[in-house]
Every structure is written in structure tokens, then in C-alpha cells.
Structure 1
Amino acid sequence: MNSEKKQRINPLVILLLALISIAVETFSDDSISKIDPMDHLRGRRLSERARQLVSICNSMAEMGLSYEAARLLKSTSIYSSNKETSEEAKRILTSWRINELEINDVNADSIRKTIRKTLNRNRSALLDHKRVQTLLTAGRTSQAAKIIANAKQVELFGESKEAQLRILNELNLKQEVLNKAKDQNSLESLMSKSMEITKLNDISEFLRTAHPESGNAMRTLIRKVYPETAQMDSQRNRERDRYRSAFSRRLPENARPPAMRVQDDGERGRGREDGFSFFNNRSRQQNNNQTIEPLSIEKLIKIATELANFDYSMSISFLNLAKQSITDEVSRNKINKAIQSLTKNKKNKSLGQTKPFGAFLKPLQKKDKASQLFDSDEIFEYKITLSKKSIESLKKEPKIFVRATFEHKNIKLENVGVRLKGFLGSFRPFDGQNKNGFTVKFNAFKNGQRFKGLNKIQLNNAAQDSTFVREKLGYSLFREAGLPAPRVGHATVLINGAPFGLYVQVEASTEDFLKRWFDDASGDLYEGPTDITNWKNLDLDSDPKKAERGLLIGFAAAAFEAKEMNDLTPLKDWIDLGHFSRFMAMEILCDHWDGYLSPNNYRLYRNPSDRKFYFIPHGADQLFRNSSNSLFGSSRGRSVVVEAFRSTDEGELMIEEALHYLLSTIWAPEKIVAQVMHDYKRLKPYIIADVKRPYDLFEVEERLQDTIEYFAKTDRLKRWQLIALDNRELQDRLSRFNGRSRWGR
């Protein structure tokens, strides 16, 4: 009996032992690998490799290799001989909230989910902080307070914590102060204070170049009224120094970016005046810690009075800041009287020109069938269906139209022409992965076929504009200035059912477009790149049988003659001088650096009615970037008509008058920023959902912030540059903004 029982038990025991053996073997495989460096890794080299292991783990987790990254960090935390590296690995594991989980294959899914959830939460909180920065740049304190109220509740660790502190430092906010603010009112007060400090710092930095005495005095007052800014400035300087030190050692002086040079271009023989030089670590620290003699009330009022000759609003900001810095009533009354005096004696600083000179064109028909595509806030959805043959053709010959089906709501158009668009910066091959730009020509294979009255539309992929708003805004400013420019809207696109994301929908420069602006649309329409001097190779977008290319030779010859004679008379028969000067001024204000100023992106139409050429902006997806360019545009432009204007007294005067007009009427920073925020608000959900966008949302916020800042900075600098035309000393100071000694010429 016992032997039978024994025989029955033996198989169970054997099975149990086998299971234990398998389990032990499995857990053995799950064990954390021991770090065992090769013999050649010793000392500093070993420490560097260990740090590299740790630093790559965040990237691994973001790429979906979070479990593998966790195993690597665990191994480093246990076996690394470098204590600092080991502690850093432990800190990251803690920040991922998996320090209490056993890291093995059994927990792999749980570890992946926990890390992904943590990273998403951290990224969302950081994006909210960046969004707050954007909102404050636009003056939206209430919205910023609501967002920061939630974002500050998230406790961040590691790199996320460092990024958060950098953003708060840029906002002139201390985290401990932010954490103490519990209700909406206190948060709004903090946001308003942050915005005010940022504004004052910006004015101070500008004035330290343009008007050093007031700029340095203002910096002193800021630190007196807001003592915390001195420490924050030091932190920002340390960040800059850390960035510079990583690169400056490897680059010769003349190859370094301006911010990394000890002395600026054109200033090698002498340091910058007063506070304008780029300090090294020691001199900057000494500058921050030095005792600055207090400024008397009389001195402050004198500085403000002198500043008012250049900029009334800045002088008032200066005096209001001075008033905050003092406590005795007598001195405050003196400042109040000074403010009243400046206000009473304020000269009419209008830039004078309030009426445009030259032809001011308006659309001949305000509304047409296509208006709803461009004038409404609706985001349209287009479905494009391509056959296998068409797809293969686009891969081989991307600029040749192929047959496609185009659908929008209940509209379905067959035999529509589709091709890829774009050049060096925006062209993408059709491989299913990239976000391509498309030109859709509705009558390419079927005569008379149209969509909303149009025979062609452009669908731009916004590869060079992560905000999706620059092109729409830029062209609208041109149109307001009486300059023909395309209309712009937005749409989402599906190719064979696959989402390709959000697109900038641009009205094509076709005969339809010309009919909206000119009485006669039968003239020649040319397209850059290259200048009119290359008349044989300029693309022609109109009937080649009727083209009169030879006229371009005469046009170019007239420009050369005008430059030689220092007289624009030879050009009067070819262009409307006032219209072109306004076109050029708008390209300068919008920083259309690759427009006709280059020359690169532009359209040129010869109007048969008056037999003159009219320039039309094109490819305006890189506007609003450099607010510090020179008054008359980039010096690298070699377009002959631009050079004729820049090289003649009459031409420069006309550009100045055009800038006066635009700054006095069209260029209204607050109004423009309101439009930017309105457009971005409706586009943001589509940008987030765009599966093919080549940039992350952090970059989108940064570019949006840069765009918002651009308008006020450009307005300020251009007004000062116009004032400086009669002030050589001021010209030299302002030229340092663009690194050239004389207006970029």
C-alpha cells in the first residue's frame, strides 16, 4: 500500500521540482546584469561612460524602451563604482515612480505603463508652464493663472524639474512663492508681476544699447524694486555660460555666434559702451555684485526727459518705475509733476505719413465663391484618393500632375490634378512617412472643372512654420497695405483614407487671383527664384504664347541705370514707385528674408492696363523671425530693383515714407497679437492631433512666443531707426542690434 502511494506521489514531486527549476531559471534570467567594464575603461573615461548610460535612459523611455531603460538604471544604481552616477540612476527611478517595483519580466508591463504615465504627466505639466509663458507674452494674465494653478500641482523630478525651474526663472518667478499662491487672485497678481518685470527687463536691455544712460539706470531701478531679479539674472547668466563653454572652446572667435563672442562684429578694437559688452564669468559676477551709487530724483527726471525725445512711452515707464523705488512723498510728488509735464508737452510723435503714396490696390470683388474657404474660421477637410499608378508616378516625378479624386463634404471631383510642392526647405518625398505639400489643380485633366470657383489651390505642409499662423497673418498685412496677396485658410487632408494632418490652404496665384486685383488679367505672370536679370529662366505662370520676356531686359536695364544715375526716373515707366516702396517696406517689417529682397520667393505681374510690373509676395512661411534686422533690409539681397532703391537718395526716402505709413496705420502690435492668439486657439487641437507634424508641441509654443514678441520689438526698433536717420551716434548704437556698422549696407 505504501509502495503504491509512493509510486503515486513521485510523479507529482517530479512535476513540482520541474516547475521550481523553471521558475528559478526564469528569475535568474530576470536578474539585473552586473556592470563589468572592459579593461581599457578606467578613471575619468569610465565615469564618462557611466554618465552616458544614465543620460540615454530618458531618451530610451521616450522611445518606448522604458522597461529596458529601467533595467539599465537599476544595474547602474547597484553596481556602478561612481557614487554620483549611482545616485543619479536612483533619482531617475524614483522620479519614474517605479522604485518600489521589482524590476523583472513579470512586472514589465506594469513598469512600462507606470513610466509612460509619469512621462506623459511630466510633459503635460511642462507644456502648461511653457503655455503660461506664451500667454504672458501676449498679456493674458487671467488665462495664465488658471493654467499655472493646475500645472504647479504636479511634482516634477530630474530633467523635468530642471526644465520647470528654467521656465520659472525666465518668468522671474520663484517656485516657493508660486506654491504659496493658493487662489486665483493671488496667482493673477503673480502673473501680472511676472509680465511687468519681463516687460521692464526687455525695455532696459534695449535701452542699454540704444540709450545707455537710461538703460543702466532702469536696470538699477528694477533690481531695487524687484530684488529677486538680481539672483535670477545670475542664474540665467550661469545657464548661458554653461552653453557657451560647451562650444566656445571648439570654435575660433570669428566663427562663434554673437552671444558667444567677447566683442561684437565691428567692435574688435574697443569694448561695448557701458553695460553692452558680453561679460565673461568673472566680470559679469563683479558687475552683478558691485555697489551702484543711488540716483537722485533730479537725475532720474533728467534722464526721463531726454528719453522722451526718442520714446515717450518708455520715459513714462521709466518714471513710474522710479516712483515705485522711493518711499518719501516729496520725491514721489516731484516724479508725478514730471510725468504730468511730459504728458502735457508731449509732441505729436506720429511718424507723419498717414496716407499711402502710389497705387493702393484693393480686391475688385470683396466676396466670391471661394471666400468661405479663406474668410471663415472653419477648418475644412479634404479627401484625396490616388491610384497605385498615381502614387508611383509621384515618387518618380513629384512635380508632374497625376490623376486623383478630390472630395469635400458632398462635393466629389474626378480627374483632378495633384502634384507635390515645395523646394529645399519644405519639399518632402512621397513615401507615406513624410508630410507632403500638394498643389491641387482641378482643371488639369478636365477643362472647366473648378472647386468653389477656383481652378487651383495650394496645400502647404507648414514644414517651416510650426505655428501654422505666419503665412495667413503675413499675407493679410500685405493686403491691408494695398498690396495684392493671396488669401489663406486651413484644412486637414486625408490621402487614401490616411490622415496627413493640418495644412495651410493658400490661394494660388492664377488668372482667378489676378482677376480679383487687376482690371486686365491677361498679362505675363512670372515666378522666382532668381531675379529679373535672369529673364530667360524665370518661371512663367501665364500663357507662354503671349509672353513678352524681352520686357524684363528693359526693366532690369532701367534698374541698373537708376542706380548709376542716383535717380529713379528710369524706373517710372516700369513700376509704380510708391507701390513698390510699400511692398519693400512690408517685406522688411515682416522679415520676409527670402522674398524679393533675396531674391527668391515672389511673383511678378505685368499689368497690361498701365504697362507696369507689380510684385506679389509668395512663399511667406518664414516671416516674423528676426526683429533686429536693419532699416533697409538684409544686405545680402542682390535684387536689382531693391538695390536701385537702396542706392539712391530718392529711393531711400520713399522707403522711409512707406515705413512711416505702415507703422502709423497697419502695424499695430496689440491688434496683430490678438489675431495670432485667435488663430492659434482654433488651430491648436488640430496641431496636437497632427500625426505627421515634424516638431513637438514644446517647439510650437516656443515659435508662437517668438512670433508674438516679434511685432512689438520690430515696431520699437524701426521707430528708433527712423529717428536715428538724422543722428549718426544713435545709428552706430542701433547698428549693433544687427551686427553691422551702417544699416546693413
Structure 2
Amino acid sequence: MKPISFIWILSVWMSLDFIMHGASTDPFDFDQVIHFKIEIPDAGIEILRQSNFQRRWPDSSHRPKVKAEVRINDEPFKDVSVRLKGAAGSFRSIDSKPALTINLDSHIKDQQFEGYDKFYLNNSVQDRSYCNEIICRELFQRAGIPTPRATHATVELNGRDLGLYVMIEGFNKKWLKRHFDQIGGNLYDSGFLKDIHANLTVNVGKNPEDHSAKNNLIAAVYEKDLSKLLPGIMRHLDLDMFLTHVALDTLTWNWDGYAMKPNNYRLYHNLDTGKFQFIPHGMDQMFQNPQGSIYPRFRGVTVLSLMRLPAMQQQYFKRMLHLYGTVFKPKQLVNRVDQLAAVIEPELKKRSLREWDRNQRGIQRLKDSIGARGDFLGWELSAPERALKFPDAGFVSIRNWKTSRLRGDIQFRNANENNKQVLVIESGSGINIGRWYSQQLLTQGTYRFEARVRCENVVAAPNDLYGGVRVRASGSRINAVLTGTRNWTWVAADFLVSQPVEEVELSCEFRGMQGRTWFEEGSLRLVKLR
């Protein structure tokens, strides 16, 4: 038997590696842990100790840079620029577990590691799973939004083991070249809690002092004439990509992102299209509210402006529905978390069983949150199928009324008077407030809630502008009320459902010092006007 040569073993190993990873040596192309060893002179450490984050005045935060010697997977790099990064939740001092920005070519041109010259090393102090950044960046990428990728890394600083980190592609010209043909447009950094109208720093751009394009976008977003709003925004913003971005922010409950905060984003003027697009950044606190509304309290001014248009609310809902069926797949996300957990487990175990245990609990919390979020979204996004259906006649009789006593000893009863079923409210002593109510799931549109009512000796409380008898829909304007004694009469309340689907509460109300009222149950109906 011939001896096995070293060359043969090497060729087999290389073949297996090629099968596993292809020809790529890109650190973000497959799951792995990159190892950083950083050496900073004492003088540099002293400079970095001056770094800080000022929450009240973020622009006055101090982030000095120093030179360092760095080894990445044992490959040496000299004169590397290092500075501390992070904001309110993630900033840590150089003597703790600092988040770092590593720039390989600041002082030596074209110095790079596997084609990359800038990295963010996130300490993940707000994400014990170490997985949020990776899985959510992959989600945005699959949805077609250019997003810096992430993997795992370990960091050793001057011989001190800082433990596990999340390594992310840095924003710079190289990153832009990977996604855009022309890279001369301004890439704006959102900083901390700044919207697009603020004075944003330009990270990259041929004309960093020229903000005319951004000012045009701002003017379009603040357009007061709704007939001009959408055409104006579409001239300056990649609306399709923006809708996807906002929908994903909601699906993943990115409460610290642009749509809900606004925070953690970049704004890039894409010269390929002449339009701006938003790029996500900082996704370490996702899925924290599995039951978060699909219509959250938006704070990003661009989202708020667009959501003034009912048609855009419909488009937003449809985009969520599309992404939920194609990109956002909870079971796949949970499996992905398991894959990543297996990669980092050895690194955590050999450092600290306590840290590994914390990671395991973080992993389980994340998986549970993803599953719960998926179930909640499935129910909420099925709302149009569950919404009240209107026949050709255009109205639906409302049944299944419940009572709610808000004040006093007010009494409720069902009765049959003159072969008619009626809902009765009778006042007790003092001030009485109560209602019959029914909750209905309605699609976007204009509605009228109608009822036949009569009342007897109804007296409103002094200075109660809303005292008497009325019908109402939640969110509707104040309607006329009946007082005194009135024979059977029709009353109505018009209201608008602006969201694609919304639960509305219909009420037959009494507010007063004395009297009683009857609502003819067979007359209680909802009409869809348009």
C-alpha cells in the first residue's frame, strides 16, 4: 500500500473546504467566528479613556481615534485606526467591554482583510443571544434592501479577553461599491435620535457640503397638500424599498429603528436612481414585544407623512402581508438561531459557563419571541378575512350587544315592547353613565351607525356637554344627543376607518341624572357608505 502523501491530504482538505464554502474567503459568506487581537499602546489607551457618549447632547460626544496593531485570524495589520462606538445602551469604556470601529486603511492605503477595510465590533450587551443583528440583517437583505452583513468575532485587547462580539461590515465606499454602480451620492449618518430634517453627518459623498437633494426630500415629506404629497415624495424617495423597510421594522418590532423612533439608520442618495433610500443599522433589540401592534406609533417623519394617505396605509398592510408569506418565516428564523447558537457555543463555553448559560437563556427568549411574534402577526394579518362582510344591500344588522356600567347604579335590560326587541337603559340616582356596545372588525372605509331610539324624562348632568342619549363609534366625532322625552326617532353616527383593518366599538350610550331610553335592537345597523 502506497503511503498517503501530504499533498494528497492537503488537496482533499481543500476540496472539502471548497465544497463547504465554495471558492469564497469572504468572512460574511458562511457562519464562523473571526478572531481579533488588538494591541494599543498605553498612550492610546489613555486617549480612548476620554471617549464618552453624551445622551442629552449626542453631538458633543467625544470619540477620539488611535493607532493599533491588529491581528485578524493571525493576519497582521499595522497602523489600524480604532475608536470606541455605541450610544445610550451599548457604549462601554475601554476598560470594560467596549464596542469598537476598526478601520484598516485609514493610515495604510488599500490595507484590507479579505476585501474589507472597515468593521464594527458590537459588544452585544443588549442582546445576550448574539443573534439579533445577524438574522435581521439577513431578513432585510432577502427583502432586497442593501444591508451590511454580520457574523461573530472574538476580541482580545492588550492580552485581555473581551469575549464574543458581533462583527458588522462598515459603511464606506467599499460597501457602497458592493451595492451600487455610482457611489458619489451622500451617505448620511442618522446619529442618535435624529430625523431626516436634522443636520446629519455625511460619512461618504463626492459633494458632502451639498445637501440640496436631501432638502428636496424634506420639502416633499412636509408637503401639506395631500394631492401633491405622494408624487413629490416619489420623485425623491425609493418608495417601494421604503415600504419594505417600514414593514420589516414592524414585523420584527424594531422599536429602535427609523419607523418607530427614529434612530439607527443611514440615508443614501442613490445616484443610480436619483432617489434616496433608507438603510437599517443597529438591530440588536428586535422582537422584544411579540404582541406589538402592526400599526405602531410611528415617529419617523417620512412614515408619518405617508400614512396620512389611506392608499399608503393599504400599501403598507399589503407589503406586510407579502413579506410575512415570503421573507418573514418564523420557523426558518428559529432554525437559523439554532445554527448560529451552535457556532458560538464552543467559544462561550471555553470562556465562562456562566456567560454560556446567559447566552442559552437569551437564545431561548429570542426563539420564544420569534414564535410568539409569528403567531400574533398571523392573526393580525388575517384580519381582512375576519372583517365584517357587507351584502349588496350595503348594511348589516348588529347583534350580540354587551353592557358597560361606567358610573352610578344605572340599570340595563332586554325587553319586548309591541313585538319589538329593545335594549333599555334606566338611570339610578345621581350621575349615571352606561352603554350597550358591540365590537366589530371593519375594513378601510366610511360608515354610518344607525339606530331607532326613544327616551323619557332624560336630564343631563349640569355642565355635561355630552349628556343625554346618543349612538357613537369609537374614534368618531361627537354626535347630537337627545334629552327630555322623545318618541321613536332615527339617530346616526358617521365615522371613518382609516387603517386597512380596524376594530371599532359601536355604542348606544346614556349620560344623565335621570330618565330612561330604549334602542330598537332590530334597527341597530351599520351602513358602509364608501
Give the Cα separation in 1 of the matches to 2:360 and 2:81. 36
Letter of the structure 2 residue corresponding to residue 534 of structure 1? H
Letter of the structure 2 residue corresponding to residue 440 of structure 1? I
The answer (yes or no) to whether the contact 1:461–1:503 under 8 Å persists in 2 is yes
Aligned to 2:396: none
Aligned to 2:110: 448
**Is 2:71 the counterpart of 1:407?**
yes
The answer (yes or no) to whether the contact 2:220–2:229 under 8 Å persists in 1 is no
SS of the residue aligned with 1:396?
coil
Aligned to 1:708: 367
How far residue 565 of structure 1 moved from its aligned partner, in angstroms, is 4.3
Letter of the structure 2 residue corresponding to residue 678 of structure 1? Q
Which of the residues 184, 208, 230 maps onto 1:522?
184
Which of the residues 30, 47, 50 maps onto 1:393?
47
Which one has a bigger Cα radius of gyration? 1
Aligned to 2:160: 498
Q: Structure 2 length normalisation: TM-score? A: 0.64
**Is 2:275 the counterpart of 1:612?**
yes
Aligned to 2:458: none
SS of the residue aligned with 1:572?
helix
Aligned to 2:27: 373
Letter of the structure 2 residue corresponding to residue 523 of structure 1? G
Matches within 5 A, 1:243-254: none
Give the Cα separation in 2 of the matches to 1:706 and 1:380. 25
Give the Cα separation in 1 of the matches to 2:257 and 2:290. 16
**Is 2:321 the counterpart of 1:660?**
yes
When residues 585 and 690 of structure 1 are mapped into structure 2, their CA distance, relative to the original with a 3 A threshold, is farther
**Is 2:258 the counterpart of 1:596?**
yes
The answer (yes or no) to whether the contact 2:287–2:373 under 8 Å persists in 1 is no
How far residue 368 of structure 1 moved from its aligned partner, in angstroms, is 12
Give the Cα separation in 2 of the matches to 1:709 and 1:375. 27
Aligned to 1:138: none
Give the Cα separation in 1 of the matches to 2:26 and 2:110. 21
The answer (yes or no) to whether the contact 1:560–1:644 under 8 Å persists in 2 is yes
Give the Cα separation in 1 of the matches to 2:341 and 2:224. 44
When residues 662 and 557 of structure 1 are mapped into structure 2, their CA distance, relative to the original with a 3 A threshold, is same
Aligned to 1:62: none
Letter of the structure 2 residue corresponding to residue 609 of structure 1? D
1:303-340 Cα offsets, whole Å, 9 max, x none, are xxxxxxxxxxxxxxxxxxxxxxxxxxxxxxxxxxxxxx
Aligned to 1:621: 284
Give the Cα separation in 2 of the matches to 1:486 and 1:672. 19
Which of the residues 576, 584, 605 maps onto 2:238?
576
How far residue 589 of structure 1 moved from its aligned partner, in angstroms, is 0.7
SS of the residue aligned with 1:443?
coil
When residues 370 and 600 of structure 1 are mapped into structure 2, their CA distance, relative to the original with a 3 A threshold, is farther
How far residue 531 of structure 1 moved from its aligned partner, in angstroms, is 4.1
When residues 502 and 587 of structure 1 are mapped into structure 2, their CA distance, relative to the original with a 3 A threshold, is same
1:214-263 Cα offsets, whole Å, 9 max, x none, are xxxxxxxxxxxxxxxxxxxxxxxxxxxxxxxxxxxxxxxxxxxxxxxxxx
The answer (yes or no) to whether the contact 1:523–1:607 under 8 Å persists in 2 is yes
Aligned to 2:518: none
When residues 565 and 709 of structure 1 are mapped into structure 2, their CA distance, relative to the original with a 3 A threshold, is farther
Aligned to 1:74: none
Which of the residues 340, 356, 378 maps onto 1:719?
378
Give the Cα separation in 2 of the matches to 1:493 and 1:689. 14
Give the Cα separation in 2 of the matches to 1:551 and 1:476. 30
Aligned to 2:37: 383
Aligned to 2:13: none
Q: Structure 1 length normalisation: TM-score? A: 0.46
Letter of the structure 2 residue corresponding to residue 424 of structure 1? A
Give the Cα separation in 1 of the matches to 2:225 and 2:309. 6
- The structure that is strand-richer by fraction is 2
Give the Cα separation in 1 of the matches to 2:321 and 2:502. 20
Give the Cα separation in 1 of the matches to 2:256 and 2:225. 22
Aligned to 1:424: 88
SS of the residue aligned with 2:247?
helix
When residues 645 and 677 of structure 1 are mapped into structure 2, their CA distance, relative to the original with a 3 A threshold, is same
Give the Cα separation in 2 of the matches to 1:375 and 1:591. 26
When residues 681 and 560 of structure 1 are mapped into structure 2, their CA distance, relative to the original with a 3 A threshold, is same
Give the Cα separation in 1 of the matches to 2:76 and 2:186. 33
Letter of the structure 2 residue corresponding to residue 600 of structure 1? N
Which of the residues 289, 293, 302 maps onto 1:630?
293
**Which range is displaced more, 383-392 or 711-720?**
711-720
When residues 572 and 411 of structure 1 are mapped into structure 2, their CA distance, relative to the original with a 3 A threshold, is same
Give the Cα separation in 2 of the matches to 1:689 and 1:534. 48
Aligned to 1:688: 349
Give the Cα separation in 2 of the matches to 1:411 and 1:701. 31
- Count of residues in Structure 1 that have an aligned counterpart in Structure 2: 363
Letter of the structure 2 residue corresponding to residue 628 of structure 1? Q
Give the Cα separation in 1 of the matches to 2:381 and 2:73. 51
The answer (yes or no) to whether the contact 2:123–2:166 under 8 Å persists in 1 is yes
Aligned to 1:647: 308
Give the Cα separation in 2 of the matches to 1:562 and 1:684. 54
Give the Cα separation in 1 of the matches to 2:118 and 2:317. 37
1:141-184 Cα offsets, whole Å, 9 max, x none, are xxxxxxxxxxxxxxxxxxxxxxxxxxxxxxxxxxxxxxxxxxxx
SS of the residue aligned with 2:127?
coil
When residues 619 and 426 of structure 1 are mapped into structure 2, their CA distance, relative to the original with a 3 A threshold, is same
1:675-713 Cα offsets, whole Å, 9 max, x none, are 11111112122233446x9x8555433332221122332
SS of the residue aligned with 1:701?
helix
Letter of the structure 2 residue corresponding to residue 373 of structure 1? P
Give the Cα separation in 2 of the matches to 1:424 and 1:616. 21
How far residue 376 of structure 1 moved from its aligned partner, in angstroms, is 2.0
Give the Cα separation in 2 of the matches to 1:560 and 1:384. 47
Aligned to 2:143: 481
How far residue 647 of structure 1 moved from its aligned partner, in angstroms, is 2.0
Give the Cα separation in 2 of the matches to 1:445 and 1:551. 32
**Unaligned ranges ≥5, structure 2:** 1-20, 53-62, 389-438, 443-473, 475-500, 504-530
SS of the residue aligned with 1:679?
helix
How far residue 478 of structure 1 moved from its aligned partner, in angstroms, is 0.4
The answer (yes or no) to whether the contact 1:370–1:453 under 8 Å persists in 2 is no
The answer (yes or no) to whether the contact 1:566–1:647 under 8 Å persists in 2 is no
When residues 562 and 679 of structure 1 are mapped into structure 2, their CA distance, relative to the original with a 3 A threshold, is farther
The answer (yes or no) to whether the contact 1:417–1:440 under 8 Å persists in 2 is yes
How far residue 405 of structure 1 moved from its aligned partner, in angstroms, is 0.4
Aligned to 1:553: 215
The answer (yes or no) to whether the contact 2:150–2:169 under 8 Å persists in 1 is yes
How far residue 510 of structure 1 moved from its aligned partner, in angstroms, is 1.4
How far residue 564 of structure 1 moved from its aligned partner, in angstroms, is 4.3
Aligned to 2:247: 585
Letter of the structure 2 residue corresponding to residue 423 of structure 1? A
Give the Cα separation in 2 of the matches to 1:614 and 1:500. 36
Aligned to 2:496: none
The answer (yes or no) to whether the contact 1:406–1:413 under 8 Å persists in 2 is yes
The answer (yes or no) to whether the contact 1:562–1:571 under 8 Å persists in 2 is no
SS of the residue aligned with 1:490?
strand
SS of the residue aligned with 2:382?
helix
Give the Cα separation in 2 of the matches to 1:585 and 1:565. 24
Letter of the structure 1 residue corresponding to residue 67 of structure 2? R
